[in-house]
Structure formats: C-alpha cells, structure tokens
Structure 1
C-alpha cells in the first residue's frame, strides 16, 4: 500500500458499501479528475482505428482504452468484494458506474431532498453574520451540485437573497 498515492488511499479507505454511495462517488470523482481519467465516464470510446488510420487516431484510441482500464481498476478496488465479483467482466467503466447508480443512486435523491430541506429550513442565528449565513448556504448549494442537482448560479443567488429577505421580515431587523 505504500506505493498508492494519497488520492488513491481515499478510495481504499472509503470503499463503497450499501450506505455510502454519495460519498464514495464524490471521492471517486476527485481521484479520477486528479488522475485525468474521468472523461471515459462521459465520452464514448473512439472507433477502433483501421490499419491505415493516422497514428494520432490510433493513439487516441489506445489512450482512451488505457484510461478506461485505469478507471475500472479504481472502481473495482474501491467497492466490496461482492460488487467486484458482479462487475469484474464489465468492459466499460461507464457501464459499471451506471449499474452502481441503478443499485445505489436512490441515496443521491434522498440526500438531495434532505439538503434542499436544510437550505429552506436554515435560519440565520441572531448572533451570526450575513457572511456566515451565506457561506452555510453556499456550502449546501455545493453539496446539491455534488449530488447531481443542476441549479444555475443566478438561481442560487436568488435563493440566498430570498432566504435572507425572509429572515429580515421574520426578525424585523436590518441585515448588515
């Protein structure tokens, strides 16, 4: 294990179990992004090059294949033995991720709903600053994004302002 990078250690120490899919996926995304392999989960494999294809086309295909194999290794090494056995013969890392999402993705929906509930129920404490409150809200919005929610920046700002406005109306105080 001494040869593992600190990023890969994150996956080793946080293997996918039935209850931690959202956290596991976030950690996997971090590792794959840092290792520059995440693209194989969203970009299709280039067509198999013909014998007379340009070298660049052959290299692109080979690079994608090697990245796919690395992503599969990262995924398989970071899931339970039972899941490894189920997924070991799947050719594409994106297909493994799709299967895992189908098995555990409902956790993401529940987590998104809970985070939305937290956002709308967050009250600014009398002793806290607007800055602290906004940072809390931004953190919750970032969590939503990690969980797959797609809320554009303008809507996020609108949500924060609306919640601040509601707070000022309810507390009859001036926000500074």
Structure 2
C-alpha cells in the first residue's frame, strides 16, 4: 500500500481575509481517475466566479455608470445580496428601558452591516481611484445614492430613452405575445431601476 499523497488547493476569494484551503487526497482523485477541474469548480461557489468576472470586465470610470450599475445588480442578484445595495441599513435596535435587545435581532442587524460593508467593498474595488476617494466611508446604499447623484445626467438620458421606447413599443405581426410582454416588462423593470416606477 502506498502512502496517501495530498494536493493542497488554495482559493483566494474576493476579499483578502477570505481564504479557503483544501486538502484533497490525491489517491482518491487518481484511483477514480477524476479530473481535478470539476472538483475545484464544485468547491468554489459560482458566485465567486461571477464576482471575479465582474472585476475583470467592469470598472466604473464615469461614462459607463449605467452599464456598471446593471452588471453590479446582476452579480448581487446571483449572490442574493441585492437588498444590501437597494435598502439602507436599518437603525440599531434599541430595547425598551429595563429590557435587552434579543440576541437574534442584534445578530440580524450585525449581519446587515457586514453585508453592506462587503458590497461597498465590491463597489469600491471596481471604481477608478478618483471616484473612490470620496466614497470610502459610505455603506453600499449610501454609496449608490451618491453615485446616482454624480451621474444623474446619464440616468436622466437613459430614463428618457427607456420612456420613449416603452411608449413607442408595439407588438409586431410576427411577434409572439410572450416575447412582447417580456420586452415591455424589461422596460418597466428598467424604469423601476432608474427610480421611476
């Protein structure tokens, strides 16, 4: 019987503090002739991969705010973290006098703050340094509001174009009802995203 050989796999996740170390028995892989790549893929969350591709493709430079924001929303939607971006951090729970805040309520608030900081970090890492400078102390929702203010003109132009497209959209003869409804829903979703439901 030969000794077990191990493969050490280190995976660095989006922030430097998250490091996943795995030790996989090489014999287990080799004896079953399993390729290593699918094993690693299943161990790495797809959301980490989506965040990584977001980092590689999209950096906020200013003129690309609308596209950058759309991509950020998609990444956060995949990770089920969009609410941290779209909702402000709830106020710190305060107990009535003589009582204590329930631990689960305090834990939920702490988790919300942590999630907001994580999203804010993701946003900051995907911005040009000139844009980052004034946004660093903000949480995700505050940062989004500030960015929307900075790039309001772009948002207004997209809003105007989306409104025009919505009102001029007609179902074509050959077009199925479902594709027409999906197109209209896309316009409505875009209007909501731009703050005009």
TM-score (norm: length of structure 2): 0.61
8 A Cα contact 2:59 2:68, kept in partner: yes
C-alpha separation in 1, matches of 2:182 and 2:110: 44
Deviations 1:140-176 (A, max 9, x none): 44443443331xxxxxxxxxxxxxxxxxxxxxxxxxx
Aligned match of 2:110: 62
- The Cα RMSD (Å) is 3.0
User: Which stretches in structure 2 are left out of the alignment for 5+ residues?
Assistant: 1-10, 15-47
Relative to 1, partners in 2 of residues 1:118 and 1:67: Cα closer, same or farther, differing over 3 Å?
same
- Larger deviation: 16-25 or 26-35? 26-35
- Select which of 76, 81, 87 maps to 1:32: 76
Deviations 1:100-151 (A, max 9, x none): 11101221221121123234445776xx51328826842444443443331x
- Select which of 84, 97, 102 maps to 2:132: 84
Greater helix content: 1
Aligned match of 1:95: 142
Q: Which of structures 1 and 2 has the larger relative contact order (alpha carbons within 8 angstroms, sep 6+)?
A: 1
User: Which stretches in structure 1 are left out of the alignment for 5+ residues?
Assistant: 151-176
Alignment length (residue pairs): 147
C-alpha separation in 1, matches of 2:167 and 2:103: 55
Aligned match of 2:33: none
Aligned match of 2:54: 11
- Whose Rg is larger? 2
Aligned match of 1:118: 165
Correspondence 1:140-151 to 2 at 5 A: 140-150=187-197
- Larger deviation: 103-112 or 34-43? 34-43
C-alpha separation in 2, matches of 1:140 and 1:39: 21
TM-score (norm: length of structure 1): 0.67
Q: After TM superposition, give the deviation of residue 76 of structure 1 in Å.
A: 0.6
Aligned match of 2:92: 47
- Larger deviation: 24-33 or 131-140? 131-140
Relative to 1, partners in 2 of residues 1:46 and 1:34: Cα closer, same or farther, differing over 3 Å?
farther
